[in-house]
């Protein structure tokens, strides 16, 4: 802060000079004492000068509303919104979100560090304060082909950037526990730079969890239940309570939140699609769930503000107090958390659900043209089997966890799987799209419900190869070709015709269109998938597929290198052991 600005802040706080803006007649949340107080909020530039009785050049009547700190999403992947950073900011700020901790490992897995550079440049064009975690695992695992490889040496420059808070979720938790040399190099790089290390360790417990925490892992958003949550808190980790478009963990984890441990709990979305934002909001929606589940409003608001700020070292954030950044939200109530107005860095950024500032988009040309398929044809989808008894990826309700099951499936005279309406099993394939390796791997998916056609996406966590599912090889190959023609995104086909598509020119992950357009387009694709392709109504036809190639989420997934058993961290054959 420059000397003249500090002088102005002090003089405003002391009442010697008028505040730039004063918000009067509101109930102000004191997150430190856990209470609401009466008074005015005086602003000086980007800072809060004081709480008390003030006069200002501009005075705003809060009309007895609740004034709370701007909300912080402690872990989110911007790319999973299918929107560019500027557009996501336009949608989130009216819901009271002032800052997000973004992990851009989706686009970095596709484009390398130029993807990070694009995201950080685009983030400058929104009032939303986007802080980044440097992707720690590119590729996410050695079990799939990604668009880039980021070593510890490659991280040496970006880890020191001001808006990079540390290393993103360390998904290679087996590598941490085994103290692998390359993993240690990355951990030490963050420590030497004085930066944080975020976590991702589903199912880890006991001594291996001790090893993970001892490495300096900050927190985790992958708790399957209260027991895992409590164990991590007792080992000094923060818990990021997640409620996204794909994963709905908040209600079950809130059962483990107590007055004693609540200060170690944060709120996050991980992913948030446009329709979810338009219908359910963002952190404001998570606060509603907290109160519905019996958490008092002040505790819930702390989890959305001060806890996150302290965890991620966002100093002078997360509270309404002298010298703190003027990120202020006026709420109508403490049950629905309806947002009236939002100030970010002292500037009125949203009112009555409308973003008030101009939206200027950063050029996406550096992250376009990301589909590079080589040697692909319908023949690559052939899957001759030696046995009709097979290992199958079975969908589980309410999340992205899958179950490894065995099924007996019909085969033709060549040993090829034959789709039938009687069995809810379809072929699924992952096609490498970054390096032109020609890799294609096939498997079988149960519980998706598809009755016709095929669906193909260039969104397939975390390496984002092409994932395609269908009732025949011909339909699947046609969908992949059409996806290549539009340079990524989503394509639904039936009987050799395109039923619906959504281009995503930014790395094959993000649209360059407004959020409302993306929400409507995704809704159209969902309905088409359900009505025309027969995908089960209880399944998100797009988001579900996005996670079927993620080899760090149990129990079984498919990458471009083959069928992968996450519990064993090993590839397995499609044919099952006849003795099981």
User: Could you tell me if 257 and 299 are in contact, meaning their C-beta atoms sit under 8 angstroms apart?
Assistant: yes
User: Could you tell me if 51 and 41 are in contact, meaning their C-beta atoms sit under 8 angstroms apart?
Assistant: yes
Whole-angstrom distance, CA of residue 119 vs CA of residue 80: 13
Whole-angstrom distance, CA of residue 85 vs CA of residue 82: 10
282 and 220 within one domain: yes
285 and 388 within one domain: no
426 and 546 within one domain: yes
User: Could you tell me if 191 and 216 are in contact, meaning their C-beta atoms sit under 8 angstroms apart?
Assistant: yes
Q: Given phi > 0 = left and psi -120 to 50 = alpha, else beta, which region is 462?
A: alpha
278 and 135 within one domain: yes
Backbone angles phi, psi at 150, to 5 degrees: -110, 115
Q: What is the spatial order of strands in the sheet that 328-331 belongs to?
A: 47-52, 35-44, 19-30, 56-69, 328-331, 339-344, 347-351, 354-355
117 and 217 within one domain: yes
- Mean pLDDT value of segment 6-21: 96
DSSP 87: H
Mean pLDDT computed over every residue of the chain: 95
Residue 31 lies in a domain: no
Distances (CA, A) of 139 to 111, 149, 170, 212: 11, 6, 12, 20
382 and 305 within one domain: no
388 and 277 within one domain: no
SS3 (DSSP) at 308: helix
pLDDT tens profile 492-543 = 999 999 999 999 999 999 999 999 999 999 999 999 999 999 999 989 899 8
> Which among 314, 339, 356 is the end of a domain?
314
Distances (CA, A) of 399 to 109, 117, 351, 455, 547: 23, 31, 34, 20, 9
- Residue 579, pLDDT above cutoff 70: no
Whole-angstrom distance, CA of residue 580 vs CA of residue 566: 19
Distance of CA 395 to the CA centre of its chain: 20
Instruction: Give the domain CATH number at 201.
Output: 3.20.20.140
- Residue 245, pLDDT above cutoff 90: no
User: Could you tell me if 230 and 246 are in contact, meaning their C-beta atoms sit under 8 angstroms apart?
Assistant: no
377 and 278 within one domain: no
377 and 232 within one domain: no
Q: How many domains does the chain have?
A: 2
pLDDT tens profile 299-345 = 999 999 999 999 999 999 999 999 999 999 999 999 999 999 999 99
Whole-angstrom distance, CA of residue 520 vs CA of residue 338: 24
Residue 24 lies in a domain: no
Count CB-CB contacts under 10 A for residue 37: 14
- Mean pLDDT value of segment 564-570: 90
Distances (CA, A) of 44 to 41, 51, 318: 10, 12, 17
379 and 291 within one domain: no
pLDDT on residue 580: 46
- Mean pLDDT value of segment 167-182: 94
> Which among 278, 298, 314 is the end of a domain?
314
Residue 219 lies in a domain: yes
Backbone angles phi, psi at 533, to 5 degrees: -100, -10
Give exposure, 182-199, as e/b (b: 16+ Cβ within 10 Å).
ebeebbebbeebebbbbb
- Residue 578, pLDDT above cutoff 70: no
Q: Which of 48, 62, 68, 25 is nearest to 297 (CA)?
A: 68
pLDDT tens profile 103-127 = 999 999 999 999 999 999 999 999 9
Q: Give residues with Cβ within 8 angstroms of 108, minimum separation 6.
A: 115, 116, 135, 138, 148, 150
Residue 577 lies in a domain: no
pLDDT on residue 398: 63
383 and 288 within one domain: no
User: Could you tell me if 202 and 554 are in contact, meaning their C-beta atoms sit under 8 angstroms apart?
Assistant: yes
SS3 (DSSP) at 297: helix
pTM of the model: 0.93
Q: Which residue has the tokens 């976590």?
A: 199
CA torsion 156→157→159→160, rounded to 10°?
120
- Mean pLDDT value of segment 140-158: 93
Q: Report, in this order, helix, strand and coil percent for the chain, each rounded to 5.
A: 30, 30, 40
Q: How many residues does the chain have?
A: 580
Residue 454 lies in a domain: yes
Give the domain range for residue 465: 368-571
Burial (Cβ within 10 Å: 0-12, 13-18, ≥19) of residue 408: exposed
Q: Which residue has the tokens 């390496």?
A: 463
Distance of CA 172 to the CA centre of its chain: 17
Kind of pairing, strands 402-408 and 196-199? unpaired
Give exposure, 49-84, as e/b (b: 16+ Cβ within 10 Å).
bbbeebebeeebebeebbbbbbbbbbbbbbbbbbbb
pLDDT on residue 157: 97
pLDDT on residue 424: 95
Backbone angles phi, psi at 274, to 5 degrees: -55, -40
Residue 3 lies in a domain: no
Q: Which of 190, 242, 243, 246 is nearest to 218 (CA)?
A: 190
User: Could you tell me if 170 and 200 are in contact, meaning their C-beta atoms sit under 8 angstroms apart?
Assistant: yes
Residue 273 lies in a domain: yes
Residue 376 lies in a domain: yes
Q: What is the pLDDT confidence band of residue 555, given thresholds at 50, 70 and 90?
A: very high
Give exposure, 455-490, as e/b (b: 16+ Cβ within 10 Å).
bbbbbbbbbbbbbbbbbbbebbbbbbbbbbebbbbb
pLDDT tens profile 353-408 = 999 999 999 999 999 999 999 989 999 999 999 999 999 999 987 667 899 999 99
Radius of gyration of the chain (CA): 25
pLDDT on residue 298: 98
User: Could you tell me if 87 and 515 are in contact, meaning their C-beta atoms sit under 8 angstroms apart?
Assistant: yes
> Which among 299, 314, 329 is the end of a domain?
314
Whole-angstrom distance, CA of residue 240 vs CA of residue 256: 13
- Residue 257, pLDDT above cutoff 50: yes
263 and 396 within one domain: no
User: Could you tell me if 242 and 268 are in contact, meaning their C-beta atoms sit under 8 angstroms apart?
Assistant: yes
DSSP 576: P
- % of the chain at pLDDT higher than 70: 99
């Amino acid at each position: 802060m420059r000397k003249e600005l500090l002088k102005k802040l002090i003089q405003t706080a002391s009442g010697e000079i008028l505040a730039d803006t004063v918000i009067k007649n509101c109930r102000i949340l004191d997150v430190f004492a856990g209470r609401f107080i009466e008074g005015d909020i005086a602003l000086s530039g980007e800072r809060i000068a004081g709480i008390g009785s003030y006069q200002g050049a501009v005075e705003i009547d809060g009309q007895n509303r609740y004034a709370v700190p701007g909300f912080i999403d402690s872990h989110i992947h911007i790319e999973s919104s299918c929107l560019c950073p500027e557009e996501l900011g336009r949608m989130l700020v009216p819901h009271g979100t002032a800052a997000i901790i973004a992990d851009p490992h989706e686009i970095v897995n596709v484009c390398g560090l130029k993807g990070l550079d694009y995201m950080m440049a685009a983030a400058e064009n929104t009032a939303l304060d986007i802080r980044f975690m440097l992707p720690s695992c590119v590729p996410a695992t050695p079990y799939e082909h990604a668009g880039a490889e980021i070593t510890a040496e490659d991280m040496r420059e970006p880890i020191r950037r001001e808006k990079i808070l540390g290393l993103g979720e360390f998904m290679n938790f087996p590598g941490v526990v085994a103290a692998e040399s390359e993993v240690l190099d990355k951990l030490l790089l963050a420590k030497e730079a004085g930066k944080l290390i975020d976590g991702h360790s589903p199912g880890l417990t006991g001594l291996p969890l001790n090893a993970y925490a001892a490495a300096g892992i900050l927190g985790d958003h992958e708790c399957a239940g209260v027991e895992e949550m409590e164990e991590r808190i007792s080992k000094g980790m923060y818990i990021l309570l997640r409620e996204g478009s794909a994963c709905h963990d908040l209600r079950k984890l809130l059962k483990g939140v107590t007055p004693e441990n609540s200060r170690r709990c944060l709120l996050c979305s991980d992913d948030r699609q446009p329709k979810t934002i338009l219908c359910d909001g963002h952190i404001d929606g998570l606060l509603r769930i907290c109160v519905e589940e019996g958490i008092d409003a002040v505790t819930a608001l702390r989890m959305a503000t001060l806890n996150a700020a302290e965890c991620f070292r966002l100093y002078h954030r997360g509270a309404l107090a002298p010298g703190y950044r003027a990120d202020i939200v006026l709420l109508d109530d403490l049950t629905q958390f309806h947002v009236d107005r939002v100030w970010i860095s002292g500037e009125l950024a949203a009112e009555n659900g409308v973003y008030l500032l101009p939206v200027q988009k950063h050029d996406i040309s550096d992250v376009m043209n990301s589909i590079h398929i080589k040697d692909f044809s319908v023949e690559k989808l052939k899957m001759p089997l030696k046995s009709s008894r097979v290992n199958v990826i079975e969908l589980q309700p309410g999340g992205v966890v899958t179950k490894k099951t065995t099924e007996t499936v019909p085969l033709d005279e060549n040993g090829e799987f034959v789709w039938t309406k009687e069995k809810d099993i379809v072929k699924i394939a992952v096609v490498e799209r970054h390096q032109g390796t020609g890799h294609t791997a096939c498997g079988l998916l149960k519980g998706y419900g598809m009755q016709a056609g095929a669906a193909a996406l260039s969104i397939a966590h975390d390496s984002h190869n092409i994932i395609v599912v269908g009732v025949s090889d011909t339909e699947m190959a046609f969908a992949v070709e059409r996806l290549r023609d539009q340079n990524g995104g989503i394509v639904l086909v039936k009987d050799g015709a395109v039923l619906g598509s959504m281009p995503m020119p930014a790395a094959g992950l993000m649209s360059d269109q407004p959020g409302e357009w993306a929400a409507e387009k995704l809704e159209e694709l969902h309905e088409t998938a359900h009505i025309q392709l027969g995908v089960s109504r209880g399944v998100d036809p797009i988001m579900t597929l996005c996670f079927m190639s993620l080899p760090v989420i149990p129990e079984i997934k498919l990458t471009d290198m083959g069928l992968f058993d996450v519990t064993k961290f090993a590839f397995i054959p499609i044919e099952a052991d006849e003795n099981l």
